[in-house]
């Protein structure tokens, strides 16, 4: 297969839970190192990379821990959790020689730049990995929606959603051995069948902007590189 990437600019969406590894909580340094190494492989191909990471390994606004909290306050706590994960990823990438910039939707100038679209695009053009933290900066919106919003703003060609399974299934394959995998889906199929790809707002925003989503297994070595090189792995969601 040609070493020419199929995409020039991508946005990689990772869940916060994936950073926890088997512990289900906190940050697993081995997972962080592994993910960083996978990202470096596509940076070395010349791909412009932006990243959005969730915060579910630390705090989730709709979790049981937040049950008695005001929803807005809980969501802001979740946004701060994404900043912690983004800083961890930034350090892991820079430890292996990848130049990064972190931008936050909520200004916190001591640790990251504020989100400025033109500045983010300029960083990408210079070969820096840009990590977008703090979601959209607004409560009631998930990091899935933040990922799609940022992808549209920076004119990414695709969202690559790294998960623990190799695509989208009719049911949870970790619980149902009869679940069948989809190779390709339409946005409307995802919405109508309530398939767990991203939340409804994120899928609708992707559909409105004709932004494809590829769901793939981030745990498998070289999978991210294979997707970027155009191999048909995972599940592709498009119009």
DSSP characters for 27-77? --HHHHHHHHHHHHHHHTTT-EEEEEE--TTT--TTSGGGTTS-HHHHHHH
Residue 3 exposure: Cα atoms within 13 Å on the Cβ side: 6
Q: What is the pLDDT of residues 1-33, one digit of tens each?
A: 458 999 999 999 999 999 998 887 899 999 999
Cα Rg, the chain, nearest whole Å: 17
Q: Which candidate, 96, 103, 61, 102, places its Cα nearest to that of 79?
A: 61
Q: What is the pLDDT of residues 102-155, one digit of tens each?
A: 999 999 999 999 999 999 999 999 999 999 999 999 999 999 999 999 999 999
Does residue 167 come out as left (phi exceeding 0), alpha (psi in the -120 to 50 range) or beta? Answer: left
Spacing of C-alpha 86 from chain mean position: 11
* Helix, strand, or coil (residue 186): strand
More confident residue, 206 or 164: 206
pLDDT (0 to 100) of residue 171? 85
pLDDT (0 to 100) of residue 237? 97
Partnered with residue 159 across adjacent β-strands are 11, 213
Phi/psi at 50 (5° precision): -115, 150
pLDDT band for 65, please (50, 70, 90 cuts).
Answer: low
Q: The domain 9-238 is classified under which CATH number: 3.30.460.80, 3.20.20.70, 3.40.1160.10, 3.40.50.300?
A: 3.40.1160.10
21 contact partners, CB below 8 Å, separation of at least 6: 28, 30, 31
Phi/psi at 117 (5° precision): -55, -50
Cα(92)–Cα(31) distance, rounded to whole angstroms? Answer: 10
pLDDT band for 196, please (50, 70, 90 cuts).
Answer: confident
Whole-model pTM? Answer: 0.93
Phi/psi at 109 (5° precision): -60, -20
Cβ neighbours of 64 (radius 10 Å): 7
């Amino acid at each position: 297969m040609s070493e020419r990437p199929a995409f020039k600019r991508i946005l990689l969406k990772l869940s916060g839970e994936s950073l926890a590894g088997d512990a289900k909580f906190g940050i697993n340094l081995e997972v962080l190192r592994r993910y960083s190494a996978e990202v470096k492989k596509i940076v070395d191909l010349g791909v412009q990379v932006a990243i959005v990471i969730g915060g579910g390994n630390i705090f989730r606004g709709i979790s049981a821990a937040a049950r008695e909290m005001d929803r807005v306050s809980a969501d802001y706590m979740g946004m701060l959790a994404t900043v912690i994960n983004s800083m961890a990823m930034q350090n892991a990438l820079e430890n292996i020689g990848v130049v990064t910039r972190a931008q936050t939707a909520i200004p916190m100038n001591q640790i990251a730049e504020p989100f400025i679209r033109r500045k983010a695009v300029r960083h990408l053009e210079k070969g820096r990995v840009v990590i977008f933290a703090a979601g959209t900066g607004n409560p009631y919106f998930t990091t899935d929606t933040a990922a799609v919003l940022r992808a549209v703003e920076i004119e990414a060609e695709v969202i690559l959603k790294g998960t623990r399974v190799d695509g989208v299934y009719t049911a949870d394959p970790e619980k149902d051995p009869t679940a069948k995998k989809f190779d390709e889906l339409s946005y409307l199929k995802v919405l109508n069948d309530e398939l767990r790809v991203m939340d409804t707002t994120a899928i609708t925003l992707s559909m409105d902007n004709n932004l494809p989503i590829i769901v793939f297994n981030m745990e498998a070595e070289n999978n991210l590189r294979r997707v970027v090189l155009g191999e048909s792995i995972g599940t592709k969601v498009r119009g």
